[in-house]
Amino acid sequence: MKPFLLGPTTLLLSLVASVVMVRSDTPRPVPSTATRAAAASHVAATGEAPSLRRVRMDRTAAPVATTTTSSPDDPFAPVYIVTSRETYQGIRGMARNAVARRDSSGMPVLISETRADRLGEISRYVHVNEHRCGGYFAFPTRAQAEAFVAEGRAKEAMAKTLLAAYTLDNQDTVNGWLPQVQKQRIYDTINHLSSYRNRYFASTHGKTSAEWIRTHWQSLAAGRDDVTTELFTACSNCSTQPSVILTIRGWDLPDEVVVLGAHLDSINGNTPNDPNQLAPGADDDASGIATLTETLRIALADGWQPRRTVKFMGYAAEEVGLRGSNAIAQSFRANGVNVVSVLQVDMTNYKFGAVTDMKLITDYSNTALKNFFITLFDTYLAPTGLTRSNTACGYACSDHASWTNAGYPAAMMFEAGGPNGSFPYIHTTQDTLATMGESAQHSVKFAQFALAYLGETAKTRGKLTGGPAQVHTAQ
C-alpha cells in the first residue's frame, strides 16, 4: 500500500485542529487537597453547603487556582482576603472571585481575591466608610484563607467559660505601680517611633523600627535571666518586618501565658504601596507600643516576678491584614501554647470633647475577659474620675481578632476618640503628636489599665493564685 501523503494546505489545517483538540482536552485546575479539606470541614461544622448564589459572588470571574502564592514585595501579586459580607459589598471593585463562608461563630464572611497594591485602598475604604481600622485577614493563597475560616475557633474563644473566676487579689502590686506612669516617657517613645519616615511592613524603615523596639525592650530588662527577647520572623507574608516578643518567665505557672500586644507598623492610605511613603503613625499605633513600653518599664524596674509567663508583643504587618499577629497566634495554637488571656492595645492617645476616657470593644472578644476588663477599670481607674463606654469595631478590626480566631480569650480597650467618631488623621501624614496636642496624657490611663491587667492576670510571685484558669485548646 502506498503511504497517504497530505498536501501543504491539508497538513496545516490538520495541525491547527490537533492543537485545538489538545487544548480542549486539557483538564481545568482542580481545588487543592487543602482547599477540599477546608470545604469539607466547613460542611461538617455547619451542616450545610453554601448555595451557588451565595458561593459565586462574581459569576463572570474564572475559578482561581489555589497554588498561586503572593509575594509581599510584588504590588501585582494576588492576595486572598477574608472580610465581612458588608465590607465586601463596598470593595467589589477591588476584589473578585468571592465565595461565601461562615466562621465558627456563625458569622457570614467572604473569601475573595485582590492584588497587593489594592490593600491600601481597601483599608482606606474601611476607614472612610465604616469608620474603623482593619476589616480583613490577608493570606498569600486561597487554600490558606479557606483553612483559616474552616479551622477557626472564634465561637469557642468568645464563649469559653474559664474554670476559675477572674479575681482581684494583687492590689498591693497594682496600686504601687499606677502612680509611676510617666507621661513624658510615653511621649518620648511615640516621638521616636513616629520620627521614622514610616514603619510600613515592606520598607527598610519597617524592619529597623521593629529592631529598635526589640533593643529598647531588651534594655529595660537590665540583664535579668528570666527575660528574653526575640524577633519573630515565621510569617510568610510579612515581608522583612519581624514581630517583637519579650518574654518574662513565670515562676510558679510558667506554662500559663498572659499576652499584651500592639501592632508596630504604620501606613499612609493615600500612598499605601510606596515603601518610601510618609506614615508617622503616632497614634496608630506608636501610642500602643509606647503604652506597652511604659507598662514593661514599670514592672521590670520594680523587680517584679510574675507567677505566670508574660509575653509583650509588637505585631508586624497589622495594617495589611493582621498578618503578624495571626502568624504568632496560629504558631502558638499549633505548638499547644496555653495562652490564658490577651490584651490588645491599638491607639491610646486621642480624645477630643465630651466623650468617655476609654471604650471596651464588645465584638469578637471573650465574654469573661470583657467582664474582667470592666471590673479592672471600675476598681482601679474609675475612682480617679475616669469613665468608660462600649463600642463594636467590626470584623478583623485589630490583632485581638487573630487570637480569637485561634481559640484564645482576647479583648481590647480602645481610645475615646471624639463626638464625631475616632481619630480623624489615621493613615495620613498628620497622624503626629502635633495633632494630639503634643502630649501623651491620654495614653497614661491606658498604661495604668495595662498595669492593672498585668498585675491581676500574671499575678506576683508569693501572692495568692488568682486570675484566669488554664485554657485548653484541642490540638
Q: Of residues 103, 130, 265, 318, which has the active-site annotation? A: 318
Residue 346 bears catalytic tag: yes
Q: Which residue has the cell 508583643?
A: 313
Q: Of residues 103, 130, 284, 431, which has the active-site annotation? A: 284
Q: Of residues 263, 285, 400, 442, which has the active-site annotation? A: 263
Residue 318 bears catalytic tag: yes
Q: Of residues 156, 294, 346, 357, which has the active-site annotation? A: 346
Residue 427 bears catalytic tag: yes
Q: Of residues 42, 400, 427, 442, which has the active-site annotation? A: 427
Is 440 in contact with 287 (CB distance < 8 Å)?
A: yes
**3-state SS assignment for residue 51:** coil
**Interacting residues of 140 by C-beta distance below 8 A, sequence separation 6+:** 69, 70, 71, 77, 79, 80, 236, 237
Burial class of 319 by CB neighbour count within 10 A (0 to 12, 13 to 18, 19+): buried
Is 347 in contact with 423 (CB distance < 8 Å)?
A: yes
Is 306 in contact with 248 (CB distance < 8 Å)?
A: yes
**Interacting residues of 89 by C-beta distance below 8 A, sequence separation 6+:** none
Sheet of 108-115, strand order: 96-102, 108-115, 78-84, 136-139
The whole-angstrom separation of Cα 297 and Cα 221 is 8
Q: Which residue has the cell 518586618?
A: 241
The whole-angstrom separation of Cα 362 and Cα 424 is 22
Distance linking the first and last C-alpha atoms of the chain: 72
* E runs forming strands in 37-129: 78-84, 96-102, 108-115
The whole-angstrom separation of Cα 456 and Cα 352 is 30
Sheet of 388-391, strand order: 227-232, 243-248, 308-315, 253-263, 338-345, 410-415, 358-361, 388-391
Is 213 in contact with 315 (CB distance < 8 Å)?
A: no
**3-state SS assignment for residue 24:** helix
**Interacting residues of 355 by C-beta distance below 8 A, sequence separation 6+:** 389, 416, 417, 418, 419
DSSP symbols for 394-439: -TT-STHHHHHHTT--EEEEEE-BBTTBS-TTTTSTT-SGGGGTT-
Q: Of residues 319, 363, 399, 431, which has the active-site annotation? A: 319
* E runs forming strands in 274-391: 308-315, 338-345, 358-361, 388-391
Is 140 in contact with 66 (CB distance < 8 Å)?
A: no
Task: For residue 272, count other CB atoms closer than 10 A to its CB.
Answer: 23
DSSP state, residue 161 = P
Tell me which residues are annotated as active site: 263, 284, 318-319, 346, 427
